[in-house]
Amino acid sequence: MKILITGVAGFIGYHLAKELLEKSNEVIGIDNVNSYYDKKLKLDRLKQLELFSKEENYSWEFKKCDIADDDAIKNIFKAIKPNIIINLAAQAGVRYSLENPKAYISSNIVGFCNILECCKEFGIENFIYASSSSVYGGNRVLPFSERVSVDHPVSLYAATKKSNELIAHTYSHLYNIPCTGLRLFTVYGPWGRPDMAPMIFAKSIFENKPIKIFNHGLMSRDFTYIDDVISCISKLIDKPATINEEFDHQNPDPSSSWCPHQVFNLGNNKTIKLMDFISILEKEIGKKAIKRYMPMQPGDVEETYADTESIFNYIGFKPDTEINLGIKKFISWYKEYNFNQK
């Protein structure tokens, strides 16, 4: 099976490519390797995939490409003729969307449409794409359920992810493309993103630098371990989105449709207080954090908490790695990668 992963030099893309190669799939990765965060980490991920594939004689190919480049993307699809597309390429980050909104329109809207146009043209069997828990925006009913409306985003990043869901639904309706959207909740683990709290906090604690704690610490997150996310995506590859035969047009369920489009939360179904999360990091690292309490940032939310009943009912699995174990594995990798310590 030929599987094309966009954003393959990213955190989730790297882990997913490794998992799918181990399952003897033919994997083609696309990434523009931009400088949103340190390129070295992205290049090191790609290097690991290259070495891993050579050692095990797996079918791996990487193409440097921006999904916003329509002609380049079409040429790749023509040459490769993939069966399945997993779109993880996107301009990430809530805070950066306040500084550089055009980057989000280019990648998350234009690039996303380019990929869907190729799905239409080349008869893709299964399209899976990354959405975000950010789409819940101003919602206050917890845990967040896919069955509630998400029409009140509080950041441009969230708005582009909500747009992805709407655009994917439209293509599914018009061209019968099976599309599955994944609302990811604060994914963390080895090879994680440097712009996210786990990496920012760990780096600062190790280097004896202050960490900024927004909303004066009165925040909670549903932290989701990377291996759980990869397991879910892997299972969804073999189970494309289906039609909801009982879809009620008078009382529509936002998580499903009369066409093959579905949306799932990928979270741990637990909400962890930010200060508790920092305490777990401190214990695992063996050092106390220097804390600087700050007001809430524009575009941020106080709490995230995923209802995972839908994903469990669909694939018989849901994320469940305990935060203490996940942080232990993350810090173990961090030490090895940054300090060459086992």
Q: Which residues are catalytic?
A: 157
Using DSSP's 3-state secondary structure scheme, residue 26 falls into strand
CB-based contact 304:185 (threshold 8 Å):
yes
Amino acid at 189: G
Q: Tokens representing 115?
A: 């990929």
Residues 6+ apart with CB under 8 A from 190: 226, 329, 330, 332, 333, 334, 337
H-type alpha helices, 131-285: 156-175, 197-206, 226-237, 274-285
Q: Phi-psi bin for 278: left (phi > 0), alpha (psi -120 to 50), beta?
A: alpha
In degrees and rounded to multiples of 5, residue 261 shows phi and psi of -135, 130
Q: For residues 33 and 24, what is the distance between their CA atoms, to the nearest angstrom? A: 25
φ/ψ of residue 336, rounded to 5 = -65, -45
Cis omega (within 30 of 0) for bond into 143: yes
Tally DSSP H helices, then E strands, for the chain.
Answer: 12, 13
- Classify strands 220-221 and 272-273 as parallel, antiparallel or unpaired: antiparallel
Structure tokens at 73: 């993307």
**Whole-number Å distance between alpha carbons of 146 and 157:** 18
Spatial separation of the C-alpha atoms in residues 333 and 198, rounded to whole Å: 13
34 CA to centre of own chain: 17
Q: What letter represents residue 224's amino acid?
A: T
Rounded to whole angstroms, what are the CA distances from 228 to 161, 220, 267? Answer: 21, 20, 9
